Structure 1
Amino acid sequence: MGRSARAETRPTMPDSRTVDIPADRQCRITLTQSRVVPDPIRLARYLRAPEIGPTVLFFSGGSALRKTSRVLTEYTHNSVHLITPFDSGGSSAKLREAFPMISVGDLRNRLMALADTALLGNPEVYRLFNTRFAKDESQTELRRLLSTMAAGVDPLVAAVPEPLRTLIRNHLGFFIERMPLTFDLRGASVGNLILAGGYLNNNRDIDAVIFLFSKLVAVRGVVRPVVDSNLHLSAELADGTVVVGQHQITRPESPLSAPIRELRLTEAADGSEGLAEAHIDERTAELIDEAELICFPIGSFFTSVMACLLPAGVGRAVARAGCPKVYVPNCGEDPEEAGLAPHDQVRLILEQLRRDAGEDTPTELLLHFVLVDSDRGEYVGGLDVDAIEAHGVEVIDTALVSEATAPLIEPRRLVDLLLSLV
């Protein structure tokens, strides 16, 4: 297999084995190489030293990448996960309405997926963060239960070792102090309440909260929202209908009346305040620039992958990054795709990236590979390899789906393929 991709030399701290090259003498070069994938030698090297494993960056959200993230921690502790913060349903919706803020549910999900569950106390934290209050319990009883958690009396909290227990209690206590009297705790995610309390207690600095929890539960990677902006998703459908709110776009029990024509951002959950813009910050741009591989992964196509590409600066940063860029279409059914075939998905990803990077940006700067399994994969709209490659990308057709996971992609096979491209 051949590929062409830009590789960028980066400054390193001088030591006895390196030479400090002035910035004006550093250069950008193009490398062409052949590689067999999966690469067992390369993978064995990563397994031996995951703490210095490759920096693979994912634009994602939701739970589709949870199992893949757990496998990924065996090979590298340096993966980067830029998560969409625009969810507007369930527990997140109640928090966003009470405290105008980003959604923290998908952040919690990915933090727990990357946490070292073998570390003392982490299984207890995992159980607590994934606990939800009953939907049929009285508000009085749920408030009492929340108070026992903040006091450290509840068995789930009492099982968490120090110092994490004190941190959790403090955040829950702060949340209780700020919680409106009308706040509905039915079905609330305890992990979301803890993160929301920390967010409010740290002057709405989500990075500070994520950093602290990442250290305490040994998160094997970097997790952050693609933007820290309190915005919502708005989808214009092919029949002219406008649907506002991620929860309205993704409802499997109520399919959309027509395919999605365009995804946008809006200020208000009801769409009353018109369209909005968000811009990635310098840290997010750095993470994209420093990636050794960029992946647009499996997951809800519009509300996870495309939503992460909406903020200004994403397309330009992807185009600058001198690394392989890979798209992995879903196998199986995604209600959002509504017959949208993989080659059309590739077209939409390129169009969205070019809206920011520039309409004349070459495909080779935005996307190199599309991973498919023509034998066992089931693709909405059918798989047309020639149509995908007509966009200027290379298709890697290999065994991604196992007998046990069919028609879905097997996480370990996906990780092996991605890391073999680094």
Structure 2
Amino acid sequence: MRVEVMSVAVQKRERPRIVVMGGGTGLSVMLRGLKEMPLDITAIVTVADDGGSSGILRSELQMPPPGDIRNVLTALADVEPLMSEMMRYRFSSGSGLAGHSLGNLILAAMTDISGDFVTAVRELSRVFAVRGRVLPAADEAVVLSAEMEDGIIVTGESKIPEAGGRIKRVFLEPSEVEPLPEAVAAIEEADAILIGPGSLYTSILPNLLVPKLAEAVMASEAIKIFVCNVMTQPGETDGYTVSDHLQAIYDHVGKHLFDYVIVNSGDIPPQVQDKYAEKGAKPVELDYDEVTSLGYKVIADTLVLFRTYLRHDADKLSRHIYQLVQDWILRKR
């Protein structure tokens, strides 16, 4: 019996340690695939959300917004599908309840019971048998603002895509927000750091704007991978190519962060493009020569699935990521 326990412990230590940073639906979709791989996952999730149920709970209870955290917990949970569905359930009626996600309310209740948000996330992770760790980027809510190219300042994560202009830069208040020490340690110990997919300015960059997190990523010798969105996002990345996404990150952190960029090169059916075009979204163009001239290595493949919405093929994407990480570790040895 003791031999078996030791063997499992050794196997666990030998799993590549991967830190995934971001927020939003794209991150959760990808994590559903990654959790099936033999990886030690730490997800670092933005706390800048101020819209919908998260925004209400953030304002009324003075807690970090739970929505992105709840999505990631659900994606990594090892529970019956019905339990995951319950966490995602959103009330459609009821005074004070309409619009709230049950998972958000559970996180709010756990925060009140445990005394702080970080402990609440940790305890809920245990209850839901989460495969990996989920950490908020900070233990306090931050305010995300954007300076538009015309000089106008837009305050609030949910308001930025609605401003109707082109974004020059985004910034946090407070600017010197402290990250969780566990998040910094996870980055320092990582074999791989994965950023994206997700809203460039409102999900990805808020994590990299936390000074000590950005410094830890830049100092790390881990393989660094960027997963680019499949479609542009109205009000954020209208007309952006793959290199435009990378340039925006460079402009904010002052360094080329990534070794590899994973992008979709598969065709998107015209009827699907038409559906997204109605909302102003278009496929992100892979300007391959521009991306490679900047020193990035490109992994391009057909990585999309379409059901109700266009999403990354989580299984295929995860296999690419796992292979890159394995190859990187073998080269380092």
Matches of 1:113 and 1:302, distance apart in 2: 22
Equivalent of 2:153 in 242, 245, 266: 242
Equivalent of 1:92 in 39, 54, 59: 54
Aligned equivalent of 2:112: 200
Does 2:211 correspond to 1:312?
Answer: yes
Which deviations, in whole Å up to 9, do the C-alpha atoms of 1:222-250 show, x marking residues without a partner? Answer: 11111112221111111222221111124
Aligned equivalent of 1:116: 78
**Identical pairs, percent:** 31
Does the aligned pair in 1 maintain the 2:304–2:310 contact within 8 Å? yes
Matches of 2:58 and 2:310, distance apart in 1: 35
Does 2:157 correspond to 1:258?
Answer: no
Amino acid at match of 2:75: A
- C-alpha displacement at 1:381, in angstroms? 6.0
Does 2:2 correspond to 1:103?
Answer: no
Equivalent of 2:144 in 233, 248, 257: 233
Aligned equivalent of 1:388: 291
Aligned equivalent of 1:81: 43
Gaps of 5+ in 2: 1-10, 274-281, 326-333
Matches within 5 A, 1:10-159: 53-76=15-38, 78-117=40-79, 122-135=80-93, 137=94, 139=95
Aligned equivalent of 1:369: 260
Does the aligned pair in 1 maintain the 2:30–2:312 contact within 8 Å? no
Task: Name the SS for the 1:246 alignment partner.
Answer: coil
Q: 1:398 to 1:128 in 2, by over 3 A?
A: closer
After TM superposition, the structure 1 stretch with the greater mean CA deviation from structure 2, 368-377 or 332-341, is 368-377
Aligned equivalent of 1:296: 195
Gaps of 5+ in 1: 1-48, 140-183, 267-274, 355-360
Amino acid at match of 2:166: P
Does the aligned pair in 1 maintain the 2:21–2:207 contact within 8 Å? yes
Amino acid at match of 1:231: V
- C-alpha displacement at 1:125, in angstroms? 3.2
Pairs aligned (count): 302
Output the TM-score relative to the length of structure 1: 0.66
Matches of 1:63 and 1:321, distance apart in 2: 27
Matches of 1:130 and 1:388, distance apart in 2: 37
Output the TM-score relative to the length of structure 2: 0.83
Matches of 2:307 and 2:204, distance apart in 1: 26
Tell me how large the CA RMSD over aligned residues is. 2.5
Q: 1:132 to 1:262 in 2, by over 3 A?
A: same
Q: 1:381 to 1:64 in 2, by over 3 A?
A: closer
Which deviations, in whole Å up to 9, do the C-alpha atoms of 1:97-132 show, x marking residues without a partner? Answer: 112121011111110111112xxxx44532332222
Amino acid at match of 1:197: A
Matches of 2:287 and 2:172, distance apart in 1: 31
Amino acid at match of 2:264: D
